[in-house]
Amino acid sequence: MLDIQFGADYYPEHWPEDRWETDAKLMREMGLGVVRMAEFAWTRLEPREGEFHFDWLRRAINLLGKYGVKTVLGTPTPTPPAWIVENHPDVLAVNSRGMRVSFGGRHHNCQSSRVYRSHAVRLLEAFTKEFRDNPHVIGWQTDNELGNSHDDLCHCPSCRTAFQDWLRDRYGTVEELNRRWGTVFWSQEYDSFRQVPTPAWNVTAHSPSLLLDWKRFHSDLVCGFQQFQIDIIRKNCPSHIITHNFMGFFDLLDYYKLAEPLDFVSHDQYPTGFFDNPQPGKTPSALASSLDLMRGLKNKTFWIMEQQSGPTGWTILGRTPEPGQLSLWTAQSVARGADCVVFFRWRTCAVGTEQYWHGILPHSGRPGRRYGELKETISRLKPVMGEFRGALSGAEGAILYDYEQNWSLEIQPHHPELDYIKQVQVYYDAFHARNVPLDFISGDRDFSPYKLIIAPLIYLMTPELEDKFASYVKGGGRLVLTMRTGVKNNDNVCLTERELPGRSGDLLGLEITDYDCLRDINRAVSWAEATGLSAEKWCDIITLRGAESLAEISDGWYRGNPVVTVNGAGKGKACYVGTEPNGALALKLADYLIGEAGLEPLARQADGLEVIRRRGAERDYYFVLNHGPEEKGFTPPAGWEPLSRENGAVPPYGFRLFTLRR
Ligand code: GLA
Ligand code: ZN
């Protein structure tokens, strides 16, 4: 494990060389130990085909190294230079309407283009050999935010052939594809794989089976685009680490697969959101869940490769983080599993598209408020981070998070506002409010370490997963399945053998014979004395076959219909939620499940403070975070010792650190 805790994303090529030493000194004074560089620097590394210029980068690396700052190098594949595009216009991607993207911006390349890959291979071979023995270089970031900007791409002839080849690998024969997709519908039967289209623009809609395979293919294509880079780096730089900067709940790629060949995951954390979107700042719980997902991808601690360090913006700007917020968000990242936090970016750039995406330093390069605040935070966190490096949260509950469920529901969301990620977040929020930590896990993971698993919207079901759920519950686990469980098989085709939710009905003790898409209303729900509970977007109409009803619909024609149920099976229990719960219903359910599964909140009387644990070798570390603008009192539970200087109330946008001997 690397002994580095903080860093910055640095672009020396944007500034005169005589400034670099000032930057290096300021970085050292601030406590930074690493920079990421060069992920967009192709034209400075190879200005013409085969003509490599590594000198400037070597000088920057060595100068930073002299000040104790190591380097992670990015492979500059997100920015194909104009000289490649001029000679080979077909490396540019084509959208679903057949339009080729123009040069400019970044990620304009087609991911399957052999020509583009051969250019990347030539550069990476030279680049990796150049720096493999440099003592200041510790590793590599592949590309940058893979999949970003690839929406609706790429439908070029090369990608169409690659899709068809991918289908041949999956189905073997075109007859098998016809059978499994059900292409008899609307006369879409194919005689050969070469007839199968990409889901390009048409007048109605493509087959849901084709659409799901297209999403799978696209994800595999991008993972493959990363893999050839990893192969070169591993071959030439066997002692270096390899990572990639992920984007939280980004949904175009199967992040479990993208993470698999990496040493660890890195994540880009921007609490005030991205440019142009009218989205408000993300909630503390949404920030927390994206960090927890990053930890879940490999069940391993991670890096932040881009942590927000100022106002964000391209053409439109986000809010300026208030005093304390940058520091609070940094502490949250560390608390939820970041072993190193790299700030984006070192200095606000004067040129290009991102002139208003602010760095630690302002345009002037003079250290100001942000530099001071982050320096202070680094001095608080750095001394303890070694103690829990690599350590996980010890969560006893988990959410099963699955990319293919999301993709199939993106294809057919049922309700216009149904969104897999948002529904997952509803459950997560309730446990977050109670300071009960959760992990995110894939369906492939061992379920047995968890007392509780919530598996929302398992719309695509396999017999293997049904069995795995059943044996988990029979062995003593508490499982929650929800609306739209077991509707389809992996080919995105509806299952017909039984009433919903298929074989899981035995485990859950119920059957669903009717349902209602709640397009224009919510339904009121009664659960003991609780108030404000409602069922949203969807309601299953449930016949109990042994399960007990915990909550019922209290209005409309199926008034009295069970909406939350529980059924004992073996040593465990399986719950069903036949709707999307609103916040109050999710909280009521979480309280029931916390009691039922015997989960321990990290702190009970926390008054809206976020409490997070990292488990050290001998001691646990507790972070208490105040995401609000008012100071909050906090009485630490017995045994918690404040770290020095950590006494008193939690300041506005502040945090406190405690330890507990185990
Ligand atoms: C992403 C990218 C960075 C930068 C920032 C700000 O996170 O990885 O290169 O573009 O957004 O827009
Ligand atoms: Zn293409």
- H or E element that contains 175: helix 174-181
40 C-alpha vs ligand 1 centroid, how far in Å?
Answer: 11
Ligand nearest to the CA of 158: 2
Q: How far is CA 632 from the centre of its chain?
A: 30
* Tens-digit pLDDT profile for residues 383-396: 999 999 999 989 99
pLDDT at 279: 54
The answer to whether the CB of 408 falls within 8 A of the CB of 492 is: yes
Quote the tokens at residue 258: 């993208």
pLDDT at 292: 98
Handedness of CA 180, 182, 188, 189 (dihedral sign): positive
Q: 400 φ, ψ to 5°?
A: -80, 120
pLDDT at 149: 81
pLDDT at 142: 98
Of the candidates 187, 186, 151, 205, the residue with the CA atom closest to the CA atom of residue 411: 205
pLDDT at 65: 98
pLDDT at 108: 93
For residue 340, give the 3-state DSSP assignment: strand
- Residue range 52-58: mean pLDDT, rounded: 98
The answer to whether the CB of 562 falls within 8 A of the CB of 542 is: yes
pLDDT bracket for residue 151 (50, 70, 90): confident
pLDDT at 277: 53
Atom number in ligand 1 closest to CA 40 = 9
Among protein residues, the one with the nearest Cα to ligand 1's atom 6 is 357
Of the candidates 627, 606, 623, the residue with the CA atom closest to the CA atom of residue 615: 623
401 C-alpha vs ligand 2 centroid, how far in Å?
Answer: 29
For residue 655, give the 3-state DSSP assignment: strand
Ligand 1 pocket list (CB less than 6 A):
144-145, 245, 268, 306, 344, 354, 357
Cα 641 to Cα 87, 157, 463, 620: the distances in Å are 65, 63, 49, 10
pLDDT of residue 275 exceeding 70, the answer is: no
464 has catalytic annotation: no
Of the candidates 331, 376, 343, the residue with the CA atom closest to the CA atom of residue 270: 343
128 C-alpha vs ligand 2 centroid, how far in Å?
Answer: 26
**% of the chain beyond a pLDDT of 90:** 94
pLDDT at 2: 86
Of the candidates 46, 130, 145, 552, the residue annotated as catalytic is 145
Atom number in ligand 1 closest to CA 39 = 9
Ligand nearest to the CA of 40: 1
**Test site for ligand 1: of 306, 307, 349, most ligand atoms within 8 A of the Cβ:** 306
pLDDT bracket for residue 121 (50, 70, 90): very high
Average pLDDT, the chain: 96
367 C-alpha vs ligand 1 centroid, how far in Å?
Answer: 22
- According to DSSP H, which parts of 511-635 are helical? 583-597
90 C-alpha vs ligand 2 centroid, how far in Å?
Answer: 8
Q: What is the rounded (10 degree) CA torsion for 500, 505, 510, 511?
A: 20
Single-letter residue type at 55: D
pLDDT at 190: 98
The answer to whether the CB of 142 falls within 8 A of the CB of 75 is: yes
**Test site for ligand 1: of 249, 268, 272, 304, most ligand atoms within 8 A of the Cβ:** 268
pLDDT bracket for residue 262 (50, 70, 90): very high
Cα 282 to Cα 270, 272, 316, 521: the distances in Å are 9, 6, 17, 26
Ligand nearest to the CA of 159: 2
DSSP per-residue string spanning 275-319: SS--PPPPPHHHHHHHHHHHHHHHTS-EEEEEEE-S--BSSSB-P
Lowest-confidence range among 53-62, 478-487, 628-637? 628-637
Cα 544 to Cα 481, 517, 541, 549, 550: the distances in Å are 15, 20, 10, 8, 12
CA-to-CA distance for 524 and 532, rounded, in angstroms?
Answer: 8
Atom number in ligand 1 closest to CA 270 = 7
306 C-alpha vs ligand 1 centroid, how far in Å?
Answer: 8
Ligand nearest to the CA of 114: 2
Q: Which stretches does DSSP call E strand in 178-246?
A: 241-243, 245-246
pLDDT of residue 278 exceeding 70, the answer is: no
CA-to-CA distance for 13 and 7, rounded, in angstroms?
Answer: 18
**Test site for ligand 1: of 144, 245, 249, most ligand atoms within 8 A of the Cβ:** 144
Of the candidates 39, 46, 306, 466, the residue annotated as catalytic is 306
pLDDT at 280: 58
pLDDT of residue 604 exceeding 90, the answer is: no
145 has catalytic annotation: yes
pLDDT bracket for residue 153 (50, 70, 90): confident
Among protein residues, the one with the nearest Cα to ligand 1's atom 7 is 268
For residue 153, give the 3-state DSSP assignment: strand
**Test site for ligand 1: of 354, 356, 358, 360, most ligand atoms within 8 A of the Cβ:** 354
pLDDT at 526: 98
- Residue range 106-125: mean pLDDT, rounded: 97
Query: Which domains, from first to last, does the chain contain?
Result: 6-148+224-388 (3.20.20.80), 397-597 (3.40.50.880), 610-661 (2.60.40.1180)
Of the candidates 662, 655, 660, the residue with the CA atom closest to the CA atom of residue 623: 655
Quote the tokens at residue 412: 């057919």
| pTM of this structure | 0.97
Give, as one character, the DSSP assignment of residue 378: H
- Residue range 27-33: mean pLDDT, rounded: 98
The answer to whether the bond into 539 is cis (omega within 30° of 0) is no
pLDDT at 613: 96
If you count DSSP H runs as helices and E runs as strands, how many of each does the chain have, helices first? 17, 23
* Tens-digit pLDDT profile for residues 70-113: 999 999 999 999 999 999 999 999 999 999 999 999 999 999 99
pLDDT of residue 274 exceeding 80, the answer is: no
Query: Helix 284-298 to helix 420-433 angle, to the nearest 10 degrees?
Result: 110
223 C-alpha vs ligand 2 centroid, how far in Å?
Answer: 15
pLDDT at 1: 63
CA-to-CA distance for 459 and 501, rounded, in angstroms?
Answer: 9
Of the candidates 125, 149, 119, the residue with the CA atom closest to the CA atom of residue 218: 149
